[in-house]
Amino acid sequence: MNLLEKLDAAAAARKAQLPEGLAAFGIPIDESYSATEARIGERRVLMLGTNNYLGLSFSSECREAAHKAIDREGTGTTGSRMANGNYYGHRALERELAEFYHCRECIVFTTGYQANLGTISGLAGVGDVVLIDGDAHASIYDGCILSGADVIRFRHNDVVDLEKRLRRLGDRSRNTLIVIEGIYSMLGDQAPLAEIVKLKNVYQSTLLLDEAHSLGVLGETGQGLVEKARMIDEVDFITGTFSKSLCGIGGFCVSNHPQLNQLRYISHPYIFTASPSPATIASTRAALKLLRDGYSLREQLWRNAHQLYSCLKETGYCLGPEPGPIVAVLLDSPKQALTLWNGLMAHDIYVNLVLPPAAPEGKSLVRCSINAAHTAEQIGRVCETFSKLYPAVTQ
Amino acid sequence: MSKITQTQITGLLCQRLACFTDVEAEISPETNLITHLAIDSVKLLNLIMEIEDQFDISVPLNALVDVLTVQDLANLIYKIKSSS
């Protein structure tokens, strides 16, 4: 089988497995009206599948900052941070993120994916070990592959399992990078950070916390799980993305270790790519201020999350382990998940569909994402629709 | 389990794999994990965690790139177990 035939075989297998579900992936969004509504084909749809947790995608401050940056600096930097693409805005955003986390160093990357790729592959190398949670994001897996380090998984959020694996490593635990996430993207649950910090101290390992889904969502000023758990001095490296609560695109790593700065010279995902555009940096800087001062937005977000979680639970749906902005409905089969997804779309509600093997434990997921801009009426409409569809989904 | 042989590891693996696949097939050392048993990437990673616990070893995921058959996996486990 040649290269193209292999792709044809994969496409045929996908079509055979998901004849009705293909429309759910990569659905064309024809027009975006607000943080909560969009047009898909002829339908005006309630968006319950974005990562726009604080609802800032249409904020006037961010849009104005982006417009001004385009007028002042053009549409793109056309170069790497290590060459002609290292603008004032990139350096200013790094200072502001370092200040936000009370950290000494910050590096801004072009995407959140590259932040994990560049940080993990810069920190660990051949002969080192990276210990990752079983539900880790693909960017973490890919960073591990790029690093050349030995990669070992521990059972999702299982501290006893993590300790067992650290113990087996013996002296190698000192050259081990443990990678966890603040909020896990599939089930929406949070890492047991305090217990993991204890272990990393006992075994003298290094800890990287990815706050991609928890930035803006957890903690009084929105730093993420690190703030909620009061562990800022205990976590060695924090990565995050601009593409969720900050409504842009890009990523970062902050740390109190001065060695982070060395990654600028060795990390290919930092060096061999163009830097973020001036508009992206400007809107992210504006969004970071709104996020930091957005206590009331976080309160609204959590009210919305609790409303949806409790209503779906009362209806009888099996949900992820704890309430949060990601409300994952767990279903036993792809057929059930497709029935629910199609039913929601027929009622003009968009959610994300996750099928095996992408979903944990062989389950299928209908994954809802709440944001601060959703109204109680919108959430009420979603609850009512889920309730109507329950008999068809569970029959 | 200090002096386990390669044959014993292969036998244990064949038993364990039967619980990890929906395919009803006789499992032998030559059985291909993906094409014969339809074990997807996630199932394989979960299987590795169980193997690590059963043999009290660390099996780096990057060491799995050359593993196609039950025998390949048994060889890898034996190599790691022998050097630990």
Q: Do B40 and A152 touch (CB under 8 A)?
A: no
Using CA coordinates, name the residue in chain A closest to B40.
Answer: A357
Do B61 and A165 lie within an 8 Å CB cutoff? no
Cα–Cα distance between B31 and B67 in angstroms, integer?
11
A247: confidence class by pLDDT, cuts 50, 70, 90: very high
pLDDT band of residue A281 (cuts 50, 70, 90) is very high
Instruction: Indicate the domain borders of chain B.
Output: 6-83
Same domain, A221 and A152: yes
Residue A328 shares a structural domain with residue A235: no
A173 and A94 together in one domain: yes
Residue A153 domain flag: yes
Calculate the average pLDDT of chain A: 95
Look up residue A263 and give its two tokens: 């990654």
Instruction: Name the residue range of residue A49's domain.
Output: 18-54+295-394
Burial class (CB in 10 A: 0-12, 13-18, 19+), A258: exposed
Q: What is the pLDDT of residues B56-68, one digit of tens each?
A: 999 999 999 889 9
Q: What is the pLDDT of residue A90?
A: 98
CATH number for the domain that contains residue A187? 3.40.640.10
* Percent of chain B's residues with pLDDT above 70: 98
Q: For residue A367, give how far its alpha carbon lies from the nearest alpha carbon of chain B (Å).
A: 19
Which of A45, A91, A83 shows the shortest CA–CA distance to A278? A91
Q: Which residues of B touch A (CB under 8 A)?
A: 40-43, 45-46, 48-49, 52-53, 56-63
CB contact under 8 A, A153 and B45: yes
Residues A259, A357, single domain; the answer is: no
The pLDDT of residue A15: 80
Residue A251: CA count within 13 A, CB half-sphere:
23
Q: Pick from A144, A145, A169: which is nearest to B58 by CB? A: A169
DSSP string for residues in A319-367: E-SS-SSEEEEEESSHHHHHHHHHHHHHTTEE-EEE-TTTSGGG-EEEE
- Kindly tell me if the per-residue pLDDT of B1 is higher than 70: no
Number of inter-chain CB pairs under 8 A, A vs B: 44
Helix/strand/coil percentages in chain A, nearest 5: 45, 15, 35
pLDDT digits over A53-75, tens only?
A: 999 999 999 999 999 999 999 99
C-alpha pair distances (Å), A184 with each of A75, A134, A207, A308, B22: 34, 11, 16, 18, 28
DSSP symbols for A64-83: HHHHHHHHHH-S---S-TTT
Each residue's pLDDT tens digit, A345-373: 999 999 999 988 788 878 899 999 999 99
Residue with tokens 């800032």: A56
**Residue B41 pLDDT exceeds 90:** no
Query: At the topology level of CATH, where does B6-83 sit?
Result: 1.10.1200
Residues A281 and A155 in one domain: yes
Structure tokens at A176: 């081990």
Check whether residue A267 and residue A369 sit in a common domain.
Answer: no
